[in-house]
Structure 1
Amino acid sequence: MEINQMLKLAKETATDLGFHIRQELLDGQRSGVCEFGGKRWIILDVGQNSLEQLHAIGNALTHLENIDSDEVPVALHAIWKSYL
């Protein structure tokens, strides 16, 4: 699977797990997670490459209390193994 396809799948997975995704040019700031208005947000820096954004989403999963690896598509297991 190509990296752009994996990034799309990662965004869909994060949304399915209850995150909202926002993409901004953060001008040197890092991508991250926040809670605002009772919603969990992943803020992605569009200045980062696809692999960096993919890891930022994976890192956001560590903020979930209980995540079952079955909730994550098999195609993402290898790249997200340290986050699951």
Structure 2
Amino acid sequence: MKRYILWLVLAAVWLAVAVLNLYSQRSGTVIGFNIFAAVVFAAVGTGQWIVVRKYDASTKWLRRIELAALVVVVLVLIAVLLMS
């Protein structure tokens, strides 16, 4: 399976979690973080799809993008946890 498909599936799952949290009346911070994470994962998946289709991308470069996205999500999670 292509890696960008996994990132897009992860984004869809995270968006579903955000919708479930919305209906279970969780705090807006949790819902906002879930939506932020879904957008970041969808951006990584879409970016990888574009790079793979248009350019001869090395896997080392794509893995750096994946790592950067995960670091951003973890840093925002830490910020959300510290603010609540």
After TM superposition, is the score higher than 0.5?
no
Query: Quick check: which one's helix share is greater?
Result: 2
Greater percentage in strand:
1
TM-score (norm 1): 0.32
TM-score (norm 2): 0.32
Q: Determine which structure has greater relative contact order: mean sequence separation of CA pairs < 8 Å that are 6+ residues apart, divided by chain length.
A: 2
